[in-house]
Structure 1
Amino acid sequence: MSRARVVVDDPAARRRRRWLTGLLAGLVFVGFCGAYALGRIHAAQGWEDSFEVGEQRMQSDRKRVQNDNRRLRVENRKLSERIVALELDARIDKEAAGELKQSMSELQTRLANLRKEVGFYRGIVSPESEDDEPRIQQFSVRPTGSAGEYEYDLVLIRSAGHSSRANGSIIMRLDGLRNGEAITLNARNFGLKPSREPRFGFKYFQELAGSFSLPENFEPTLFEIEVVPAGGTAESVKNSYDWSELTQD
């Protein structure tokens, strides 16, 4: 046989239970809020720490970049100065080489002139021929710059050891082609200046100079010079010069 359970409803006890339940819920909420706030504080602190670390790293990187930039500027300045120095050295070397080349060229020209002078005086003092009649030592032709006009230089010599003067005249001829036909021009035909044929009179040597102009459509091939002593007792001396060799540079 079951026993009946009698439940006594106590309003005061019920109110205490509600109050304890509310208090417990409030404490739980406060605890949760506190934990949340504490977590935010720690998170904020961690962010600040991370920010400070990042800022320090940025400052370190910026300082390193500044140092690298400063070092590169110094190296660039040194390289620029080196380039300027090398360019200056190269220019000096080039100028020195040019001056040396010019000096050597002048020296070679002087030596060539000296050889000509030595040969010239040797021809007078120690001639290859014992004949004391005048002969051609040198003949040259050069253009004046005007079309068809040329200047000439003629040097006559004879051996030393005599007291009389050599006198006579020079006959000049030009062989060539005009309109495909071979012709020979005398002094009057190729505008020799002075207009008359040169004359000479010397004891050891003499230089004669003048100019001439070529006729139109005339192509010279050979320049002939004849030295004719006065009196008709000595034989004349004839020399022929290839035109291309006379006028080559």
Structure 2
Amino acid sequence: MLNYHRLLDRLKVLERKKRTSGLYLFGLIIISFTIGVLSQNFLISEVIEPVKEAEEIQILKTDLKKQSHVVSRLEIALDISKEANSNMQQMFKKQLLEQKSIEQELAFYRSLVSPEKEVAGVAIHGVELTPGITANSYQLRLILTQLQKRKSSVKGIADIVLVGLQNEQQVEISLNDLDIEKFNFSFRYFQVFDTEISLPEGFALQRVKAAVQVTASRGVKGGLIEQTFDIAELLES
């Protein structure tokens, strides 16, 4: 009977040991599973994040490449526009020069068919006026031409009269009033006179009148011709 109780006690002890071992083993399994899940999630995150970053970098590179192409096309278009603008300006400048040359030729031929604008075969080919360096100063040029073939030169004197307003009154100022001598000429084909004029303070220039007196001589009847030019027309030409 004693042996039976001892055997029963031993079985209870073994049962308790096995129960404790089973619980311990079950706990280890739970811990291992938890660690495995966490490790897997960590590894997955470590793998996915670089992949996402690489994709984003690739997208940014693609966008940058597209933007670079757009900038290159815009730069090319800008260069073409600048070149076209430069060509247009050169073309306009050339046309203006050609127009001025044609106008000068036209003025010359008009003088050929306008007897009232010539005397003794001498005509006023034109007057040119350009702003000077200082205020109220101008560079003035008078061009005279001889329309008839002569063996001898024609002689005379030319004057420039400036017509404008001063103190609300019309005033005429000649070269002598500006301490500039009148133009004495003696030529066979053409003659050009250049001078610089400085206007008095408060004088508003409106017109320029050229007066040419041809001296009578052998074979030359002589006479006076005058021609008036508007200031706006002179400064535009």
Q: TM-score range by the shorter chain?
A: 0.7 to 0.9
Unmatched tracts of structure 2, length 5 or more: none
Q: Write out aligned runs for 1:238-249 (5 A).
A: 238-247=226-235
Higher relative contact order (CA 8 A, sep 6+): 2
Q: Is contact 2:145–2:190 with CA below 8 Å preserved after alignment?
A: yes
Amino acid in structure 1 at the alignment position of 2:200: P
Aligned to 1:96: 83
How big is each residue's C-alpha offset from its partner over 1:87-143, in whole Å with a ceiling of 9 and x where there is no partner? 54134213312331233133213422442454366458xx21466521222112111
Q: Is contact 1:143–1:150 with CA below 8 Å preserved after alignment?
A: yes
- Measured in 2, the distance between the counterparts of 1:72 and 1:25 equals 70
Q: CA deviation at 1:238?
A: 1.0
Within the alignment, does 1:156 sit opposite 2:141 as a pair?
no
Q: 2:203 aligns with which of 195, 204, 218?
A: 218
How big is each residue's C-alpha offset from its partner over 1:162-210, in whole Å with a ceiling of 9 and x where there is no partner? 444222111222222322333322222234xxx2101222223222211
Aligned to 1:203: 188
Within the alignment, does 1:46 sit opposite 2:36 as a pair?
no
Aligned to 2:171: 183
- Measured in 2, the distance between the counterparts of 1:216 and 1:81 equals 61
* Identity over aligned pairs, percent: 16
- Measured in 2, the distance between the counterparts of 1:128 and 1:160 equals 13
- Measured in 1, the distance between the counterparts of 2:60 and 2:68 equals 12
TM value normalised by structure 1: 0.76
Q: CA deviation at 1:16?
A: 5.1
Q: CA deviation at 1:31?
A: 3.2
> SS at the partner of 2:178?
coil
| Greater shift in the superposed pair: 201-210 or 239-248 | 239-248
> SS at the partner of 1:236?
strand
Q: Report the count of equivalent residues.
A: 231
TM value normalised by structure 2: 0.79
- Measured in 2, the distance between the counterparts of 1:209 and 1:140 equals 9
Within the alignment, does 1:167 sit opposite 2:152 as a pair?
no
Q: 1:58 aligns with which of 45, 52, 57?
A: 45
Aligned to 2:58: 71
- Measured in 1, the distance between the counterparts of 2:96 and 2:172 equals 36
| Residues 225 and 117 of structure 1, relative CA distance in 2, 3 Å threshold | closer
- Measured in 1, the distance between the counterparts of 2:113 and 2:45 equals 99
Q: CA deviation at 1:28?
A: 4.0
| Residues 129 and 220 of structure 1, relative CA distance in 2, 3 Å threshold | closer
| Greater shift in the superposed pair: 135-144 or 39-48 | 39-48
- Measured in 2, the distance between the counterparts of 1:121 and 1:224 equals 17
- Measured in 1, the distance between the counterparts of 2:139 and 2:30 equals 108
